[in-house]
Structure 1
Amino acid sequence: AEDSLAFTERVAREMAEVGWETGIELAEEKGPAPIMLDKFTVTAQMLTRRPEMVNDGYRVGDQVRGSILIARYSRYMQQFPDSLTDRIADKGARYSHHTSIAPTGTISLSLANNASNGIEPSFAHLYSRNVIREGRKTKERVDVLSFELLEYRKLINPSAEPDGDADNSLPDYFLSADDITPKQHVDVQAAAQKWVDSSISKTANVPTDFSFEDFKDIYMYAYDKGLKGCTTFRFNPEAFQGVLVKEEDLENTTYRFTLDNGEIIEVKGNEEVEYDGETHTAANLFDALKEGYYGKL
């Protein structure tokens, strides 16, 4: 685990350093971001929050260029070597912020065959995604495979399955979101965030049967780690099943429908139901009726 955190931080730092070096080169070619050339008036609050400015001779009312402020006095930029920050102070950079890490599931699936999830592990290696289709009254379930499973099938075993038998099972290094504890999710974000100067997002997936005692301290742990934000997701069909759904969660969930004559029927979430001239999964039909968007997509 410690090795993976060190690797995550090393990759994030390399991306940031190369990004700022590129920003300097672009500034030399096309000019720096305007804010780098702007002059800012030194205030008492600035000197209080950055006492090193006092040591460098700044006084209230002095003027300081934006490129110097960010290169010399940003806590984030102070992590970088002087050889880099000196160039930014002198020449500026093409942009004022470089690194963001977004939750890239939708982008990755749309453009890259589900190849990357930012700093997320794969949600699952075989799961369903609920998508809106024009003309349908509920969302449609579409099966999705992770990029690594697709490659494993292509290169090693075309019959491999996440829960396959002895001959077709996946190696134990095929981890997914539920195999990572919530605290491990937080640790990875903390490792990457050190070199992220803009926004960062990550979801700590929480198993459905996760106890409240284990869950209640996740946000405090994230706070102690200095995270900018913390998001958790727990499959809870009573509230909302979500966009990404695993087959076993649907199979283990029973939905109750009350018919016009008062009869109650119970259906597993992954079973298909004929209703109003269309075929729906029980889970998607239940959500659409409960949330009031049935027939309005």
Structure 2
Amino acid sequence: MRRHRIAVLALDEVVPFDLGTATQVFSAARDGQEHSLYRVRVCAPGARPVRSSAGFQIMTEYGLEQLARADTVVVPGVHAPNEVILRGTIDPEVGEALAEAARTARVMSICTGAFVLAAAGLLDGRPATTHWRYAGRFRTLFPRVGLDPDVLFVDDGDVLTSAGVGAGVDLCLHVVRGDHGSEVGNRTARRCVMPPWRSGGQSQYIERPVPPTPDTSTAPARDWALAHLDEQLDLRVLAERARMSVRTFTRRFRQENGMSPGKWITQQRVERARHLLETTDLPIDRVARHSGFGTGAALRQQMAASLGVAPSAYRRTFQAGVPAGS
């Protein structure tokens, strides 16, 4: 089986964490026989060393020709004095190589890598995100991009962008999961010692206070809810699990998760249903019960709203040979 080819483009002032995120997550993806699912190569203009934003150089073996050969191109974040951050411009050779690659390849950016994609004209008229601290500058430089700085990542089909730092991990795991299903995605996350999934629509944590001690966190209630998704989850019960009033619990939950408890529970139930549809042959009604939706009709309604697809169609996407009426 030919491995999916990924080219990670390193430019001057590249953010080492972002560069490492793409190489680590995709290199960690394996099938059930421990075969690598992606071939990852880091490239740079002229295959020359590039400066990192941390003050050291990165040596690369490959040049821009790798972009034309890739199935997916990943652009990590960059910092000033890179011209794309200062003035919204990039080397014409890089811009042309990215534009040519985007004709046939999926293109991704992490953090301020979105500036590079925008400067190459790949985000015009598209939704996108970047690190919230750079949102104002991004809007000024690239007004034709539909920037949403309040989400972890944006999946617009063949062009995907993420927010800063850890959100790049979320995006890469999201891509692995979409390419190979939740089992591979979860296994990859475990290799990287990361949570397997956070919704792309989850809020970036923008200048919000962090609870000072674990006792003020809603995490115990979330952990309990995840173990009881197939039951009726009452807000009062969840608040009691966190030893808070309903009002305090609701406020703290929004601060920590960027959404209401009800919306979060629905997302987790959809995720449970997706996992069951991908990895089991359970009838749709039983998937609905196990994931907490109760009935097949309720599951179909939620999946249509969240994913735009019916459960049976979703299952056929990830499971070869499943009968259409299952």
TM more than 0.5: no
The higher radius of gyration belongs to 1
**Bigger proportion of residues as helix:** 2
**Bigger proportion of residues as strand:** 1
Scaled by the length of structure 2, the TM-score of the pair is: 0.26
Q: Which structure ranks higher in relative contact order (CA pairs < 8 Å, sequence separation ≥ 6)? A: 1
Scaled by the length of structure 1, the TM-score of the pair is: 0.27
